[in-house]
Amino acid sequence: RKEVEQDPGPFNVPEGATVAFNCTYSNSASQSFFWYRQDCRKEPKLLMSVYSSGNEDGRFTAQLNRASQYISLLIRDSKLSDSATYLCVVNKINAGKSTFGDGTTLTVKP
Amino acid sequence: DAGITQSPRHKVTETGTPVTLRCHQTENHRYMYWYRQDPGHGLRLIHYSYGVKDTDKGEVSDGYSVSRSKTEDFLLTLESATSSQTSVYFCAISEGGSGDKNIQYFGAGTRLSVL
């Protein structure tokens, strides 16, 4: 079993739709959580950190469920420009390395 | 954007030749990483460094070596390139620590083709 697992998709949604991605992690010592976005043939870029209390940035909401060991990303009112691959990232306490999920691909269509 | 420069950005080489990729940062971050990304595999860690001359292996380190003689530079060397090393290589940096200090910032990538 992979340490971080994501549904690879693809998710194909119309503009304006709400879409949610989940990511599960296996190591209960995990401490830091992030969502990254990667556009085709580009480098991954931080989308948002995921805090225990949950956090929101515009149309994007990230939540953490430590008991069930998963994090989620909700995108409301999807835009064409949201089309990308979304990577879930997990860090253990005081570990310099991160574990990346393989990504979930989202395509938003007109 | 974080100051990370990868060079070269594209390279075509022949099987059996040595190849060195360079990652340069201007952020003075402690940690530096080399990943490869292939279709169907996501990002896979090759090697990482937690300080000058301090390096450790990742999950796919066979056939690769690294060196970090200065805080700002992290070199990845393929001693004898093979076709299986054709990939996109990303360098990343982070401050290291807890919380948001673990955020990794990526370079633009190097596309390597081994013929």
pLDDT in tens, A22-43: 999 998 888 899 999 999 989 9
pLDDT band at B111 (very low <50, low <70, confident <90, very high): very high
For residue A93, pLDDT beyond 90: no
E strand or H helix at B12: strand B10-13
Residue B6 has φ and ψ, to the nearest 5°, of -110, 140
d(CA B11, CA A53): 45
pLDDT band at A88 (very low <50, low <70, confident <90, very high): very high
CB-based contact B108 A42, cutoff 8 Å: yes
Residue from B10, B35, B41, B104 to probe the interface with A (highest A Cβ count within 10 Å): B104
Predicted confidence at residue B96, as pLDDT, reads 86
pLDDT in tens, B23-46: 999 999 999 999 999 987 889 999
pLDDT more than 90, % of chain A: 77
pLDDT in tens, B75-87: 999 999 999 999 9
A 10 A CB-CB count for A67 gives: 7
Which residue in the block uniquely carries the two structure tokens 């990845």? B76
Q: Is any Cβ of chain B less than 8 angstroms from the Cβ of A34?
A: yes
Predicted confidence at residue A92, as pLDDT, reads 79
**Mean pLDDT (whole number) for A53-66:** 94
At A14, list the tokens: 């119309």
What letters, b where the CB count within 10 A reaches 16 and e where it falls short, cover B55-83? beebebbeebebebeeebebbbebeebee
- Nearest Cα of chain B lies from the Cα of A58 at a distance, in angstroms, of 20
B7-16, B34-43, B83-92: lowest mean pLDDT where? B34-43
Predicted confidence at residue B1, as pLDDT, reads 65
Predicted confidence at residue A94, as pLDDT, reads 65
For residue A1, pLDDT beyond 80: no
Residue among B30, B41, B108 whose CB faces A43 most closely: B108
Q: What value does the mean pLDDT of chain A take?
A: 92
pLDDT in tens, B46-56: 999 999 999 99
Residue among A45, A98, A102 whose CB faces B102 most closely: A98
CB-based contact B48 A45, cutoff 8 Å: no
Residue among B48, B98, B103 whose CB faces A94 most closely: B98
